[in-house]
Amino acid sequence: MRFFIVSVIILILAFVIKVDLQQGTISMASFYQNEEKCEQQEELQYVAVQIQQDDTIYSLFAATPSPVKTTFPERLSQFYKLNPHLQLQTLIPGNTVLIPLISNTTKICAN
């Protein structure tokens, strides 16, 4: 009978240690490092362009490609940040607009 009780106690202790190593405080305290919170920040540059007859935003983007590959909606949102006065207006020939060029992506990490 003593052998059975000792065996059960050893099995329970082994199970508790196994669970604590996998999910408990021991694994969290010594095996995990603090993760850094990083943000990618894009360097925004722009080019001033004078609008010609029959120019569209798409044709302006095609004439001044960005060094970093971006989608049209991303670049369009940057365009409207630089030119908020064109939000609900058409492009008028002779006006000057700023075309965004997203050049570099930098990683900023904070502890």
pLDDT over 70 (residue 55): yes
Cα distances (angstroms) measured from residue 41 to each of 4, 31, 33, 62, 104:
64, 31, 24, 24, 8
- List beta partners, residue 97: 49
pTM: 0.56
Domain ranges of the chain: 1-32, 37-110
pLDDT over 70 (residue 50): yes
In sequence order, the 6+-apart residues with CB closer than 8 A to the CB of 13 are none
